[in-house]
Amino acid sequence: MSESASVAIVGSGWWATANHLPALVARADIQVAAICDINADKARSAADYFDVNATYTDLAAMLRDRPLDAAVVATNHAAHYAAARQCLEAGLHVFIEKPMTLLAAEARHLLQLAADQNKQIVMGYNHTYRPCTLRARELVSSGELGAVQYLDAQFSRPVSSLLAGIDNVTIGNLHRPGDVYGDPARSGGGHGQLQLTHMAGMLFFATGLRIRRVQARMANHGLAVDLVVACTVEFDNGALGAVGGTGHVSGGGQSTRLTIFCEKGWLDIDDTAGSLHVARADGSTEFIDAGPDADQAENRYFYGPIHNFADVITKQAENHCSGLVGWRAVELLDAAYRSAARAGTAVSLDELYEDNES
């Protein structure tokens, strides 16, 4: 039997008001009890728009005053860790927008807190909800295709204006992203933290791998943050991979693709088209796409993460994309940014935790 849950929104910016709040306030089993934002005007305007009674500018005060079951953390990237940590320490389930944190040690600490509190972390990786990615995960995890040996992961989208601090989004009708994605202090980086994190989430969701070593180069092309990212990755099972992309796709369109080569076949996810091609060593093939329910599938893709969170905290579903996937993605990006800062020198997994060992 399903339950009801009281949820707070931490960060009332663009994505919270374009995605999370519209989905949650429409559900009878969810009460959005409060909105917290360091900007009082933003919190109040979001509360008025979505008919939420309480607003706060102090997260500690909200956690102390309100009886809550869960929280949605949708602050700027650099604030994810501190906000999620406070919510977990208060005994709440937590939804975290991508990237989970900026540092691998921070992500690991959140997973430890969640385990200690017996609470769930649900990640906001919407690309993991596409049928093509779900089927790829099933094939890889079953062992049918054998071990992963090489993968090629590209996530390229026309977001150069956002990375330049120019707000030109068309999704949502209340709050805007403003110049946050062009500010490394708030976003922690550019294309890597805003876009390539999506591919990292897909990659680790589909394969279950973990990095062992990363070499990366990044190019800003005049911006304050990275516009182009190129990584060579060694994974924990010995597989190698190329992971990268650009935020400048001149002429429009986008290219988001994950190709995985295994011992007994290979598979190709075209995320832009929503399709999957599978080729097996025995000569058999498989192809799936969004099919006749493409609109419904797109809705699941767009709102999938926040609805899964609501279903998890009301005991109607299992966690689809957990904090473990978020942690693995952070390890890749943390290593990549460290490597790029050192002109491409390799960064090992162990180095990410050297200053945080107890």
| Bridge pairing between strands 5-10 and 70-73 | parallel
CB 140 within 8 A of CB 208: yes
* Full-model pTM: 0.96
For 11, 268, 271, 308, the CA distances from 137, given in Å and listed in that order, are: 32, 12, 14, 18
HEC secondary structure over 68-137: CCEEEECCCHHHHHHHHHHHHHCCCEEEECCCCCCCHHHHHHHHHHHHHHCCCEEECCHHHHCHHHHHHH
Dihedral sign for Cα 97, 100, 106, 111, please: positive
Torsions phi, psi for 304 (to 5 deg): -55, -50
Q: How far apart are the first and last CA of the chain?
A: 42
Q: How far is CA 206 from CA 40, 202, 262, 274, in A?
A: 40, 6, 13, 15
| Tokens, residue 287 | 């192809």
- What would the two tokens of residue 20 be? 């999370």
Residues 95, 111, 337: CA angle, nearest 5 degrees: 85
Q: Residue 240: helix, strand or coil by DSSP?
A: strand
Give which of 327, 322, 341, 326 is closest to 105, Cα–Cα. 327
Region of residue 274 (left: phi > 0; alpha: psi -120 to 50; beta: else): left
Angle at 156 between CA 326 and CA 192, to 5 degrees: 40
Contacts of range 264-270, beta carbons closer than 8 Å, 24 or more positions apart: 264/144, 264/145, 264/146, 265/144, 265/145, 265/146, 266/145, 267/136, 267/139, 267/140, 267/145, 269/132, 269/133, 269/136, 269/202, 269/206, 270/132
Q: What is the pLDDT of residue 157?
A: 96
Rounded-to-integer distance, Cα 36 and Cα 84, Å: 13
Instruction: Give pLDDT, residue 293.
Output: 58
Question: pLDDT 10s digit of each residue in the chain, 358 long?
Answer: 568 999 999 999 999 999 999 999 999 999 999 999 999 999 999 999 999 999 999 999 999 999 999 999 999 999 999 999 999 999 999 999 999 999 999 999 999 999 999 999 999 999 999 999 999 999 999 999 999 999 999 999 999 999 999 988 888 889 999 999 999 999 999 999 999 999 999 999 999 999 999 999 999 999 999 999 999 999 999 999 999 999 999 998 999 999 999 999 999 999 999 999 999 999 999 999 876 555 566 677 789 999 999 999 999 999 999 999 999 999 999 999 999 999 999 999 999 999 875 4
Write down the pLDDT at residue 252: 86
DSSP classification of residue 322: B
The pLDDT value recorded for residue 296 is: 61
On whether the CB atoms of residues 240 and 221 are closer than 8 A, the answer is no
> SS3 sequence, 252-313?
CCCEEEEEEEECCEEEEEECCCCEEEEEECCCCEEEECCHHHHHHHHHHHHHHHHHHHHHHH
pLDDT for the residue 258: 98
User: What DSSP letter does each residue of 12-36 carry, written as one string?
Assistant: -SHHIIIIIHHHHHT-TTEEEEEEE
SS3 183: coil
Helix (H, G, I), strand (E, B) or coil at 194: helix
pLDDT score, position 289: 87
**Phi, psi at 211, each rounded to 5°:** -70, 155
Q: Are strands 275-280 and 347-348 parallel, antiparallel or unpaired?
A: unpaired
Q: What's the pLDDT at 352?
A: 98
